[in-house]
Amino acid sequence: MKTKITQSVIGGLVATLVMTMVMFIGPFMGMPKMNPAAMLSMMMGVPVFVGWIMHFMVGVIFALMYVFLLLPLLKNVKSKITKGAIFGMAAFVLAQIAMMGMSAMLGNMPKPEGSMLLIMLGSIMGHVIFGIVVALFVKEEA
């Protein structure tokens, strides 16, 4: 992979795909059903395929934020897994803030299905997995 931007885009797309697969497998392990694209499309009043495009675009934007904003702050952390987990937690917090903001501006927030605690735990798990995959994709300079 040539540039940081290329690594970020590919890492963000792959990490979003992995996170989404985990979200769709989650209900088979007792987690509530989560579909971020459907939630985005319902809130924005757009077709679900637009929600999917937005979901993957956000993944790429978060990966770019990891490479250009967070990675320089984590120079002393040696483990890519730890860096990715830290990033995943940060991405989870940012996602929650963004969803609250969108809900306040647009309304139309879908009612959660299932236990709120399990929804939050599933979201944290998905974002940490996302962060780790992004961290594994990015080649760090020595």
Burial of 50 (0-12, 13-18, 19+ CB in 10 A): middle
Under DSSP, the state recorded for 75 is T
Is the pLDDT score of 67 beyond 70? yes
pLDDT of 142 reads 44
Residues 32-56: pLDDT tens digits? 888 888 888 888 889 999 999 999 9
Question: Where are the domains positioned within the chain?
Answer: 4-137
Contact 60, 9 (CB under 8 A): yes
Is the pLDDT score of 69 beyond 80? yes
Please give the Cα distance from 93 to 66 (Å, whole number): 14
> Residue 31 contacts by C-beta under 8 Å, 6 or more apart in sequence?
118, 121, 122
Under DSSP, the state recorded for 45 is T
